[in-house]
């Protein structure tokens, strides 16, 4: 346990409401999250000398979005990071900010993620897609996840009611989340899940996220500096690991083996925690199957037992393993590539004791994950995980 | 049939690496994929280097088009380029030469497609001049 890093902290968080087709830009949403972060932490803007910005779908044609954001916010950072790891950019931004702080590039950093793809989708992935992915009709993540689910089902079996339980549990949590997309604040039943439209067999509508608009921000600094700024609420990111293009030189590797199989042991080793020590799980949830597969990768159950584990475990905020207690992206709405910050914000909120009607008791740690990019006929491009401790 | 295909877009070849052999092969009814000469392994989609070694010691070789379904789904919701194609059977096919490729399974009720089934090459017509590799159950 002596190896655990406790010098750098997340000393504040903020989040905008998640909404659909707001007509607003990532700058405007990011500015709102930034102003809220200043208000929440009580620090002056000019105390901030580091900034990590997530590349958004809605502004990605501008390669200088991060620089433009510093102008929009009136900031003069001595450390700037532009995060291109999609849903891993928030946790990854915190980890990179911690490294920058330890290296002396800055002292007080903001990790800012804002996106508005439901208002303005401007991404064009280019590359091989027009020649090799679009012709067979594999245009978005659902088809790739349908393929992944078919493979998982073939190897281990999927109990649909387990995926339904994940969707229902997270929807129940979203009811208590004031930032969740308003149209999702209606409970759903197993019958609703079973009746929901099949998108790409066996993937159903209620297994999926929906693109929305929104933003979030985190304050990262040393504990010493945070206390000097008068901040009293903070959490310690004691572990972080990521891997990109897992099995990248092994195109015949089993696609149900994911980067989390490598990331999970690394974050457990860094933190000294074990699966049974994890107080809450805030996994990146683009699709329910990704949540279920992570139960396995993070050792909450054995490989292939995700369905039974899901059905046998109380995943509510009062339960044995509270799951995405703000509703996750599936039931709060996915704010484009700011999405990874949604799961992270909920973890920090819970650990600050600000969970309101969904507060987890004794919130002494949280495991948060990120997923980025859907590759050609595999699972996902980037896997990241962070452990926060009180 | 012509009306159904009206919405198909025809990809521009070689937009990110030289893929001319793939498209010329397709025109001749041959499935031609990228091959690493150092490790004697195929790779697909085509890359600027061998994903096994990082070298550019690559060539293009014809494959049989025979293989086994590795993963499969049925796309059921409309989208760009999907007009008149739904429900659309999509599979990851493991070719006998040891390389995976995404492709449609044509001429079949999507319900009959399953992991482990054998497939062979067929062609999906994108336009009067351009055909694209697809598969059908053996």
Domains of chain A, by residue range, sit at 8-123+209-389
- Whether A376 contacts chain B with CB within 8 A: yes
Structurally, chain B folds into a number of domains equal to: 1
- Whether B19 contacts chain A with CB within 8 A: yes
For B6, the 3-state DSSP assignment is coil
Strand A108-115, strand A50-54: pairing: parallel
Write the CATH number of the domain with boundaries A8-123+209-389. 3.40.47.10
**pLDDT category, B8, cuts 50, 70, 90?**
confident
The C-alpha atoms of residue A83 and residue A79 are separated, in whole angstroms, by: 13
Report CB contact under 8 Å: B126, A143. no
pLDDT at A141: 93
Q: Nearest to residue A388, comparing CAs of A369, A361, A375?
A: A369
The C-alpha atoms of residue B72 and residue B116 are separated, in whole angstroms, by: 10
**Contacts of residue B2, Cβ cutoff 8 Å, sequence gap at least 6:** none
Q: Is the pLDDT of residue B5 over 80?
A: no
Residue B43 with chain A: CB contacts under 8 Å: 251
3-state helix, strand, coil in chain A (%, to 5): 40, 20, 40
Q: What is the CA radius of gyration of chain B?
A: 15
Report CB contact under 8 Å: B16, A134. no
CB neighbours of residue A20 within 10 Å: 16
Domain of B29?
2-137
Q: What angle do CA A88, A140, B119 make, to 5 degrees?
A: 120
Alpha carbon distance, N-terminus to C-terminus of chain A = 14
The C-alpha atoms of residue A7 and residue A101 are separated, in whole angstroms, by: 10
Low-confidence ranges of chain A (pLDDT < 70): 1-3
Q: Nearest to residue A152, comparing CAs of A80, A258, A77?
A: A258
pTM: 0.97
pLDDT at A131: 97
pLDDT at B114: 98
The C-alpha atoms of residue A334 and residue A58 are separated, in whole angstroms, by: 13
Indicate the residue of B12, B76, B99 with minimum beta-carbon distance to A200: B76
CB < 8 Å from A in window 75-114 of B: 75-77, 79-82, 85, 88, 90-92, 94, 98-104, 110
Q: Is the pLDDT of residue B4 over 60?
A: no
- Whether A267 contacts chain B with CB within 8 A: no
Q: Which residue has the tokens 């025979």?
A: B66
**pLDDT category, B6, cuts 50, 70, 90?**
low
């Amino acid at each position: 346990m002596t190896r655990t890093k406790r010098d750098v902290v997340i000393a504040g968080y903020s989040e905008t409401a998640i909404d659909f087709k707001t007509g607003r830009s990532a700058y405007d949403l990011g500015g709102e999250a930034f102003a809220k972060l200043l208000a929440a932490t009580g620090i002056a803007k000019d105390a901030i000398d580091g900034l990590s910005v997530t590349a958004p779908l809605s502004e990605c044609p501008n390669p200088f979005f991060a620089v433009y954001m510093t102008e929009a916010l009136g900031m003069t950072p001595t450390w700037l990071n532009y995060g291109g790891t999609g849903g891993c950019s928030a946790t990854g931004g915190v980890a990179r900010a911690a490294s920058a702080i330890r290296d002396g590039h800055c002292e007080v950093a903001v990790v800012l993620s804002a996106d508005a793809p439901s208002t303005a989708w401007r991404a064009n992935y280019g590359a091989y897609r027009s020649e090799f992915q679009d012709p067979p009709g594999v245009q978005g993540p659902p088809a790739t996840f349908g393929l992944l689910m078919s493979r998982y089902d073939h190897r281990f079996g999927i109990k649909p009611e387990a995926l339904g339980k994940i969707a229902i549990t997270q929807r129940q949590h979203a009811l208590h989340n004031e930032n969740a997309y308003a149209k999702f604040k209606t409970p759903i039943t197993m019958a609703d899940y079973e009746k929901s439209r099949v998108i790409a067999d066996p993937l159903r509508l209620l297994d999926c996220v929906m693109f929305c608009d929104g933003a979030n921000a985190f304050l990262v600094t040393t504990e010493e500096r945070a206390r000097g700024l008068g901040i009293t609420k903070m959490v310690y990111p004691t572990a972080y690991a990521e891997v990109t293009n897992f099995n990248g030189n092994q195109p015949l590797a089993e696609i149900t083996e994911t980067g989390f199989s490598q990331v999970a042991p690394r974050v457990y080793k860094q933190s000294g925690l074990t699966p049974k020590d994890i107080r809450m799980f805030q996994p990146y949830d683009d699709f329910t199957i990704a949540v279920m597969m992570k139960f396995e990768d993070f050792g909450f159950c054995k490989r292939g037992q995700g369905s039974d584990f899901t059905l046998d475990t109380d995943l509510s905020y009062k339960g044995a393993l509270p799951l995405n207690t703000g509703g996750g992206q599936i039931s709060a709405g996915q704010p484009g590539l700011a999405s990874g910050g949604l799961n992270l914000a909920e973890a920090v909120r819970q650990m600050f004791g600000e969970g309101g009607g969904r507060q987890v008791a004794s919130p002494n740690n949280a495991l948060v994950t990120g997923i980025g990019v859907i590759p050609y006929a595999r699972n996902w491009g980037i896997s990241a995980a962070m452990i926060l401790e009180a | 049939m012509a009306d159904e295909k009206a919405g198909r877009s025809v990809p521009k070849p070689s937009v990110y690496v030289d893929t001319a052999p793939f498209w010329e092969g397709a025109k001749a009814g041959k499935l031609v994929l990228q091959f690493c000469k150092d490790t004697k392994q195929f790779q697909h989609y085509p890359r600027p280097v061998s994903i096994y070694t990082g070298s550019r010691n690559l060539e293009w070789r014809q494959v049989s088009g025979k293989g086994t379904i590795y993963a499969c789904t049925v796309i059921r919701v409309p989208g760009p380029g999907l007009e008149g194609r739904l429900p659309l059977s999509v599979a990851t096919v493991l070719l006998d030469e040891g390389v995976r490729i995404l492709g449609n399974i044509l001429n079949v009720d999507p319900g009959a497609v399953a992991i482990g089934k054998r497939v062979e090459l067929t062609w999906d017509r994108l336009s009067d001049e351009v055909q694209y590799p697809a598969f059908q159950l053996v």
